[in-house]
């Protein structure tokens, strides 16, 4: 069976050159460049904006966590990684900064 497939394969001419090997990699390089501009770069941009939002967090900001908890920032721990959020009267939660999803403008209504 294998011999039959080899016999049916096109035979190369003796004078035919291999061409430029970089040209054969051009489609792969093009795909990688397109993926970078369509997927990786926008994601990195969003991540920078999110980090900037979390770094600008201050007392009095209304926040929504990834779990849907809404509250007001009343303080930070000493290490700066944890935010103290007041959810209701006499209810305060320590939440990691990375779990804050949205920072609403000061003065926005809480639903």
Q: What is the per-residue pLDDT for 25?
A: 84
Q: What is the per-residue pLDDT for 105?
A: 73
Domain range list for the chain = 57-104
Q: For the chain, state the CA radius of gyration.
A: 29
With 0.85 as the threshold, say if the pTM is over it. Answer: no
Q: What is the per-residue pLDDT for 101?
A: 94
Round to whole Å and give the CA distance between 10 and 12.
Answer: 6
Q: What are the tokens at 89?
A: 């009267």
- To the question of domain 57-104 being in CATH 2.30.30.140, the answer is yes
Round to whole Å and give the CA distance between 103 and 60.
Answer: 10
Task: Give the 3-state secondary structure of residue 61.
Answer: coil
Q: What is the per-residue pLDDT for 12?
A: 57
Q: What is the per-residue pLDDT for 20?
A: 76
**In b/e form, how buried is each residue of 8-40, taking b as 16+ CB within 10 angstroms?**
eeeeeeeeeeeeeeeeeeeeeeeeeeeeeeeee
Tell me the pLDDT of the chain (111 aa) as tens digits: 666 666 666 665 554 556 677 778 888 999 999 999 999 999 999 999 999 999 999 999 999 999 999 999 999 999 989 999 999 999 999 999 999 999 987 666 554
Round to whole Å and give the CA distance between 59 and 47.
Answer: 23
Between the two ends of the chain, the Cα-to-Cα distance in Å is 73
């Amino acid at each position: 069976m294998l011999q039959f497939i080899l016999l049916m394969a096109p035979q190369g001419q003796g004078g035919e050159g291999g061409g430029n090997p970089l040209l054969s990699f051009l489609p792969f390089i093009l795909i990688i460049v397109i993926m970078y501009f369509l997927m990786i770069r926008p994601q990195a941009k969003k991540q920078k904006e999110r980090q900037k939002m979390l770094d600008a967090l201050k007392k009095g900001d209304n926040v929504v966590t990834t779990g849907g908890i809404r509250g007001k920032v009343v303080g930070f721990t000493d290490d700066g990684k944890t935010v103290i959020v007041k959810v209701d009267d006499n209810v305060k939660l320590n939440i990691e900064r990375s779990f804050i999803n949205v920072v609403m403008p000061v003065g926005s209504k809480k639903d």
